[in-house]
């Protein structure tokens, strides 16, 4: 089950977010959706894939403190490389990070 929250950086709300915390929800990710307006945060995750996705995604790998370690634009039907220091991944529809102003080194937090 995903939990609703807010994705925040530097005190600014970037987007509404869903937090996928269990194995099933992390495995499903954004599969089956035609589009996605917010962010999906996958806890305890170091890599993602876009096999079966209906749209391209932006991917941010976060360390334990929520610092953005890597940002990737992932086309459909791809396997992403793992980021070993990552402890979570944020997924959003392509172009969202640019609209939100999310950059490498930013610190992201989730607020209920």
pLDDT digit string, tens, across residues 17-27: 988 877 766 66
pLDDT digit string, tens, across residues 25-69: 666 666 667 777 889 999 999 999 989 889 999 999 999 999 999
Q: Residue 21: what pLDDT? A: 77
DSSP-assigned states of every residue in the chain: -EEEEEEEETTEEEEEEEEE-SHHHHHHTTTT-S--SSEEEEET-S--B-TT-SS-EEEEEE-TT-BEEEEEEE-SS-BPPP-TT-SEEEEEETTHHHHHT--TT-BEEEE-
* pLDDT beyond 60 at 1: no
CATH superfamily ID and name for 2-109: Protein of unknown function DUF192 (2.60.120.1140)
- Kindly list the domain boundaries of the chain, sorted by start residue: 2-109
Are the beta carbons of 7 and 14 closer than 8 angstroms?
yes
Q: For the chain, give the percent of residues with pLDDT over 90.
A: 71
pTM, two decimal places: 0.90
CA 48 to chain centre: 9
Q: Residue 31: what pLDDT? A: 66
Q: Residue 32: what pLDDT? A: 67
As a whole number of angstroms, the distance between CA 111 and CA 51 comes to: 30
């Amino acid at each position: 089950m995903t939990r609703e929250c807010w994705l925040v950086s530097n005190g600014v709300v970037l987007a509404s977010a869903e937090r996928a915390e269990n194995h099933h929800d992390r495995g499903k990710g954004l599969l089956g959706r035609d589009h996605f307006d917010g962010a999906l945060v996958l806890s305890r995750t170091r890599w993602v894939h876009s096999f079966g996705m209906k749209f391209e995604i932006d991917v941010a790998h976060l360390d334990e403190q929520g610092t953005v370690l890597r940002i990737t634009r992932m086309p459909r039907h791809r396997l992403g490389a793992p980021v070993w220091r990552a402890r979570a991944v944020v997924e959003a529809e392509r172009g969202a990070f640019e609209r939100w102003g999310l950059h490498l080194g930013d610190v992201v937090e989730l607020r209920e």
